[in-house]
Amino acid sequence: MNGIKTTAVEEAQTDIREHTQAIVGELGLLTQEMSGGSEVREMLSKVSRQTAISLDMCIKDTQQSLVNAQSTAARLAAKVEDANERWRSLDKTVDIIKVSSASM
């Protein structure tokens, strides 16, 4: 299960980083195309940094969600295993009841 979580986190990080790089690249191109003064460049630079910070927080939230999902899946797997064990032991219980009933 840990490998699945790691792979999902890595894929999410890669997707978000690629998206971030594309956004920052587009903002950079826009900055270069603008003939305005340094105010516009500063504003775009600030937006780029804020976008990167926001996406980094999204990565961390995604990681936490995946950790929570892994924990929930582990608990569910334990409950399923317990239910399966009870189901397997049910035949033994039925056999014991049959033997007890027959000897009465």
Cα atoms in the Cβ-side hemisphere of radius 13 Å centred on 73: 10
Contacts of 62 (CB under 8 A, 6+ apart): 9, 12, 13, 16
- Asked whether the predicted pLDDT for residue 18 surpasses 90, the reply is no
Residue 6: CA atoms inside 13 Å, Cβ hemisphere, count? 3
**Model confidence pLDDT, tens digit, residues 21-54:** 888 777 777 766 665 667 777 777 888 888 888 8
- What's the longest Cα–Cα distance across the chain? 100
pLDDT digits (tens, 9 = 90+) for 57-79: 888 888 888 888 889 999 999 99
Residue 80: pLDDT band with limits 50, 70, 90: very high
- The C-alpha atoms of residue 93 and residue 87 are separated, in whole angstroms, by 10
Residue with tokens 């000897």, as numbered in its chain? 103
Cβ neighbours, 10 Å, residue 44 = 19
